[in-house]
Chains A and B, each alone.
With several copies, the nearest count.
Chain A
């Protein structure tokens, strides 16, 4: 395969992949194609790409498990500002997902969807995992082997709980509603902001 034809394909692959890609992994991706690059051609294309991106805002970098595009540290000053803005707010969907994981663990994504009646986006699960409030407990032995989720000790720490037992039960939550009707747990405008996330 011509290097010039291979280069944009590799650019597309490196930019799309959320993991580093090795020469072997790349080689395997072309198996079965009419035009199949050799490992040497892939290596040559990577070399030329590294050269090409040497002065960009991001570079093609070799790490242990392969190559990946990564933002150049020279631009840290500006990049960090992207996240320094005001803290975002979690969506209602995320809160309900977290609540179901807390109260119904171990639970699969499908079970959460069944109860909520709406699909749960991958991002919600990702956010909860990244926040270290939720972890995988293994897989359920049903077709598809879905991941079982549960809360972490980080979750308990954040909410200042010693154990899950300290979470109020549903009956207690409803009692609070009854005895303090004026104490609205989720004020109306908060709800709207959350659902618009």
Chain B
């Protein structure tokens, strides 16, 4: 775990500024310690490199039109470094921006030919992008502040008596259902973390039957779930279904003493 501290570079009238241990720090005010989790949330709050740059500019009360490229680039790189240290998934976009900043910085250091002074500021493109992003960041906030359904706007729910409505319900073919399932599974498999197992449906169905029969109040005999007429397969399916339900903590098995009857009840 990395120890992360926040310090105010107070002489520069900056807002709290976080640094990783190991960076040259002069004073670390104890009260400004940011727990790593909080810092993670803070860093994850950025919607991308433009958002981070805007933050760095705004917190120094600077205008987008007059970005001190060197200072901003240095701070930007410190955040990138922090994100790497915290093993935040660092989007490639952040690195592209870093190289763009480095390029602008190097071009600004070069002596510029006097005659073409009124154009070609290397920062112009960056400023244009920042302005455009800022514009839509604001638009998104305005949009979010509009009254909207489910939040400020509530529709009326006026009851409709039992009219003889010939409700035309959509029809669905089994094929539609199958292809919907295939698609959702195909998609889920692209994102490796979700594994949709191909359990036999008989177990799933039996799980539902068991859940239907039990309640939290009553004890249902364990034996009742096994019907010898179903043969060995049926018994095994019931048994697996009960184990699966136990694993998912959906049911409880109760046995007062060894060899006493076992009862099944819903988790209360």
Contacts and interface: CB of A to CB of B under 8 A. Distances in A.
Q: Is A–B contact present in the complex under a CB 8 A cutoff?
A: yes
A182 B124 CA distance: 14
Interface string B180-205: 11111101100100101010111011
Contact of B168 (A87, A160, A196): A87
Interface stretch (B3-11, B28-36, B154-162, B217-225): B154-162
Interface string A97-116: 01110111110000000111
B24 to A, nearest CB: 12
Interface residues of A, number: 79
A170 B181 contact: yes
A142 to B, nearest CB: 8
A168 B142 contact: yes
A158 B268 CA distance: 33
A167 B143 contact: yes
The range of chain B's interface size is 35 or more
B207 A105 contact: yes
Looking at A89, A105, A158, A186, the one whose CB has the most chain B CB atoms below 10 A away is A186
A70 B161 contact: yes
A7 to B, nearest CB: 16
Enumerate the 9 nearest inter-chain pairs by beta-carbon distance, A residue then B residue, closest first: A118-B48, A99-B181, A95-B180, A185-B179, A87-B168, A117-B50, A15-B158, A70-B159, A15-B156
Interface of B: 47-51, 65-66, 68-71, 74, 91, 93, 97, 105, 108-109, 117-119, 121, 123-124, 127-129, 131-144, 146-161, 163-172, 174-185, 187-188, 191, 194, 196, 198, 200-202, 204-205, 207-208, 211-212, 248-250, 266-267
